[in-house]
Structure 1
Amino acid sequence: MEPENQTDIAEFLLLGLSEDTELQPLIFGLFLTIYLVTVLGNLLIILAISSDSHLHTPMYFFLSHLSFTDICFSTTTVLKMLANLQRQSKSISYMDCLIQVGFVLFFAGLENFLLAAMAYDRYVAICHPLRYRVIMNSCLCVLLILLSLVTSMVDALLHSLMVLRLSFCKNLEIPHFFCELAQVIKLACSDTLVNNILVYLVTSILGGVPLLGIIFSYTQIVSSVLSMPSAGGRYKAFSTCGSHLSVVSLFYGTAFGVYISSAVTPSSKKTAVASLMYTVVPPMLNPFIYSLRNEDIKRALRKLI
């Protein structure tokens, strides 16, 4: 195929999850329901935390930011798909695709760092309870949020700018329901070695370091909890971490599942379906996990509703 310069590209084609026209109304209804549940659930968590002064603590400060990130993450990936299904179109402009790549990377990275910050918060609360208010002060919480924002933004801009240097072939079909970085790079006709190296390097660092921090935090938490003399104290300590640990398992478990499935199967369509598990499912389930497993959130939601 003849390479085509990126400035001449009008649009990409998002093939979505299925090309069966009879399934399109069903897919539209399903994803519209998922999106509305995601937005409403996370919005209720944010409103409950902001309206209850008892929840103005570092733990719920990070949780409110996680809920807002989930809303934005789901909006970035799902809204364009819903719009295309409604218009019965598969097109997305080159610039919109590039913007979507950047936002997906930004919000996925932000969620990654927020989960690590929440793990650190639980580590300090359980392992250093007497110094908790001193360590987890408002300045540190804001600093962790700003650091997460800046790092995620730099990561997203770096990858987006690296995509700008690529030239693309005539075949601009993306076998996905959103513009995923790996799928966009695969369409390039120019040399993508630098892009691929950057993806693996940055993902290993920005994904691995927070994950190692979470593992270290929970190793220390488990060790500290098991040394507690009373069973009631152990139960209370584990219950404060249960919701966060469930969300961490869901986010990283689905992400690793997508990575493994893409490595073992050559089918891009199956990879697209698997990608639902980390782009759509966690943002929808996180509010339910926290509201069902956390008595403080339940109480605040009852007062709010």
Structure 2
Amino acid sequence: MTPDILCIGSVLWDIIGRSNTHMTQGSDRPGRITRVPGGVALNIAMAAKAYGMKPALLSTVGRDDEGDTLVAALDRLGLITETLYRSEDLPTDVYMAVEGANGLIAAIADAHSLEAVGNKILRPLDGPLAGWQGPIAVDGNLTTNLLAEIAQDRRFMQSDLRVAPASPGKAERLLPFLTHKSATLYVNLEEASLLLHDVQTDAAQAALRLRDRGVYRALVTDGPRLAACAYPGGVEAHRPPEVMVTRVTGAGDTFMAAHIAAERGGADVGAALLRAVEAAATYVSGDTYS
């Protein structure tokens, strides 16, 4: 199978505990605990596949039982896994989160194997994917050094590069892309504040400020409030529809994948942004992709 998008970053198991009640630090509530394929790059890939694209994964997965089970699950989903780096001596990474009715309570991302293998995950770009011309989604679970390397890499210079932090705690890893002339950044308002070293209160203004720093395009979301896209022609903004929130982990990845798929399908700036906010709202409501 020939891909039409590359997803570079974390591919792991998500262990998510969800409760339908309000939770705070120290809460002990009944709920459900699930284990599903996850990671930012994988979430983007799965959403892109649901929107009709053919994603290839550039990441690392261990040759342990957890890794074999994960790759088998991804093959069944129709994702391209031949491009994964399978480590003989590193375990498969894992992410753990607790969510309440009031949103994400806490999370821990164990992406140490991804960090340890470094640029080995990029080897397919010198092999079967040499000369790649399509979109590339990169997530902030990569090390600071590898992200800086990608920002300067000639293979990415003229590509349709889409970049997202894995979390606010890793937002500043994306600083090298603020002067990248073909990169599109996908961040939430908190992450935009961290990149700009200044508290932002408006998604549209934050997107414009990121553009002023030199990035080609910036998309900034603010939960149920305004989402904005600043691009060379100006700025577009849309407010997501009101929905009952039943999950939050993966919403930003769904937003990004829907936006890429919409643009690859020919949507203009405003239509692509609207499609993305609607897709994210559908996702957090617990419904399936549409």
| TM-score bin, normalised by smaller chain | under 0.3
- Point out the structure with the larger helix share: 1
Which structure has more relative contact order (CA 8 Å, sep 6+)? It is 1
Structure number with bigger Rg: 1
